[in-house]
Copies of this chain bind each other. A is one copy, B any other.
Amino acid sequence: MQFSKSTDYALHALLHLCLSDHGNNIGIKELSATLGVSESYLSKIMSKLRQDGIVRAVPGMNGGYELARSAEQITFLDVIQVIEGRQHLFECSNSKSQQHRLLVETETAEQECPQCIIEAVMDGAEQHLHQYLQEHTIQSVLDEAFKRCDHEANKK
């Protein structure tokens, strides 16, 4: 289980938009050259980001992309969900099998347990993951990097 390369590209592209001079659009040519990815492939990814309101796109001369909202308001979770989709991390394919009935039978209670107990744990894991990814934004990662570099510089 791994995040796709598209997520990698999307995050790096947003970082580049954030770092480059504001007020100017950044074209797909510059983006793809910076990331080392083909224009055609990267443009698909940028298109998804646009559809989800993370970037704005302007066609025509001097067109290109820019952030649609401030970098503080673009979380890692936002980006990941656009690219990877919003399915759950885990879906029990076994809900109607004997496995779960068996669990219920060991109890005298007759009511159905509404959710697979394994799925429940995995959903908990997903929530923790999402919380973390929501606390980290394009801006926060830059702040962190600058802090780190300043600290290094001071040591000299």
Contacts and interface: CB of A to CB of B under 8 A. Distances in A.
A15 B99 CA distance: 9
B89 A2 contact: yes
B125 A132 contact: yes
Given A8-B92, A121-B141, A35 B99 contact: yes
Given A1-B1, A90-B2, A90-B3, A118 B141 contact: yes
Interface residues of A, number: 60
Interface of A: 1-5, 7-8, 11-12, 15-16, 19, 33-36, 76, 80, 84, 87-94, 97-99, 102-104, 106-109, 111, 113, 117-118, 120-122, 124-125, 128-129, 132-133, 136, 141-142, 144-146, 148-149, 152-153
Contacts of A107: 146, 149, 153
